[in-house]
Amino acid sequence: MLGVPMKVDVVVMPKQSVLDPQGVAVRNALKDLGLDSVESVRVGKFLELEFKTLPDEAKLQEVCRDLLSNPVIEEYTIRIA
Amino acid sequence: MKIAVVQFPGSNCDQDCLRALTDGLHLPAEYVWHKQTSLSGFDAVVLPGGFSYGDYLRCGAIARFSPIMRAVVRSAKEGMPVIGLCNGFQILCEAGLLPGALIRNQSLRFVCQSIWLRVETGDTPFTANLQGRRVLKMPIAHGEGSYFVDERSLETLESKNQVVFRYVDETGDVTAGSNPNGSIHNIAGICNEARNVLGMMPHPDRAWDRKLGSEDGKLIFGSLAETLEPVVSR
């Protein structure tokens, strides 16, 4: 374990209630490419964080809420790898 | 009276704002670098447009944590007039001084054009001289200017007259065609509940001389100046 960075993955997605024009454009492009059955696409962000030691859970939640996502329009999930 | 124009790394309308204030309206204004921590000596603050911190992560997301923002939040809570233009509006939303968020334009395109906007309330320091639903002409230039807010907050904004500007057609009517970015309820600018913090996507800082296509921006800075110094002694 020593010297191996700890990885935390954060996925940030637009909320369902928020129109995602990027997702709509990608969906339309997929249809144009012959993927007829595609219903919807939503485009989010994937952030890969590396730590020397695993951070405090509360601190991690705080930065996800305050910086990495905007709770008005986005939701995040944290995955500790 | 002295007005601060905050410079973040990536601001690109800071000079427009300063020139609008000093050359356009002959008001005392100075730059304040984002690393500064105090706004003492200033009576109002402008957060200019641009691409602060390259708009990385989200527009305004990183600028919101710049040292000067603590002073901006503190001063805003104490009642100092704060105006955020374009990227400045995005920063004010990220900082929680204004509700909602600015998301990608519905068209996915950067829009750079002149638009019409209607003044919805004269009850702010920035629109005090603009009673009677005046229609103004101003440029916009943004890729992420579609105003979004959840339904409950939208109701509050509308019922408390916090919608300050709406995109309209030339005759002053709110139409789908006059909405350049997909903003909810054609919202172009809002204020906080205390009415001293204003955010707007259009650029009054690029509309203060006939050579620029419009002088209507002067009306907003002019209102602010007269609110700060009601006795016309300038």
Give residues 116 to 175 of B whose Cβ lies within 8 Å of A: 148-150
The class that CATH gives domain B3-228 is alpha beta
- Please report the pLDDT score of residue B234 as a whole number: 47
| A65 phi/psi in degrees, rounded to 5 | -75, -40
How far is A54 from B142, CA to CA, in rounded Å? Answer: 39
End-to-end Cα spacing for chain A: 13
Nearest to A73 among B101, B107, B182 (CB): B101
Stretch 63-122 of chain B: residues touching chain A, C-beta under 8 Å: 65, 93-94, 99-101, 103-108
SS3 content of chain B, % helix, strand, coil (to 5): 30, 25, 45
Least CB–CB distance from B148: residue in A18, A25, A68: A18
How confident is the prediction for chain A on average, in pLDDT? 93
Which residue in B53, B57, B90 has the most chain A C-beta atoms within 10 A of its own C-beta, making it the best mutation to test that interface?
B57
Chain B positions touching A17 (Cβ under 8 A) are 150
Q: Which of B94, B108, B149 sits opposite A25 (nearest CB)?
A: B108
Q: Is B225 helix (H, G, I), strand (E, B) or coil?
A: helix
CATH fold of A6-80 reads: Mth169; Chain: A , (3.30.1280)
Q: Is B38's Cβ below 8 Å from some Cβ in A?
A: no
ipTM of the complex: 0.85
| pLDDT tens-place string over residues A21-73 | 999 999 999 999 999 999 999 999 999 999 999 899 999 999 999 999 999 99
**Sign of the dihedral through C-alpha B129, B20, B34, B147:** positive
- Taking only the tens of pLDDT, chain B with its 234 residues reads 999 999 999 999 999 999 999 999 999 999 999 999 999 999 999 999 999 999 999 999 999 999 999 999 999 999 999 999 999 999 999 999 999 999 999 999 999 999 999 999 999 999 999 999 999 999 999 999 999 999 999 999 999 999 999 999 999 999 999 999 999 999 999 999 999 999 999 999 999 999 999 999 999 999 999 999 875 444
Contact between A71 and B150 under an 8 Å Cβ cutoff? The reply is: no
Query: Helix H segments across chain A?
Result: 21-32, 57-63
Residues in chain B within 8 Å Cβ distance of A67: 57, 61-62, 65
Q: Which residue of B has its CA nearest to A44?
A: B57
Taking the CA atoms of chain A, what radius of gyration do you get in angstroms?
Answer: 16
Res B111: pLDDT = 97
pLDDT at B71 (0 to 100): 98
B91, B94, B104, best to mutate vs chain A, most A CBs in 10 Å: B104
Residues of A in contact with B58 (CB under 8 A): 70
Q: How far apart are CA B186 and CA B169, in angstroms?
A: 11
Q: How far is residue B131's CA from residue B147's CA, in Å, rounded to a whole number?
A: 24
**Closest partner CB to A73 (pick from B62, B108, B148):** B148
Tokens representing B43?
């009576």
Round to whole Å and give the CA distance between B232 and B16.
25
Contacts of B148 in chain A (CB under 8 A): 18-19, 72-73
Does the distance separating the beta carbons of B101 and A72 come in below 8 Å? Answer: yes
Min Cα separation B105/chain A (Å):
8
Please tell me which residue of chain B has the smallest CA distance to A22: B108
A2 has a pLDDT exceeding 70: no
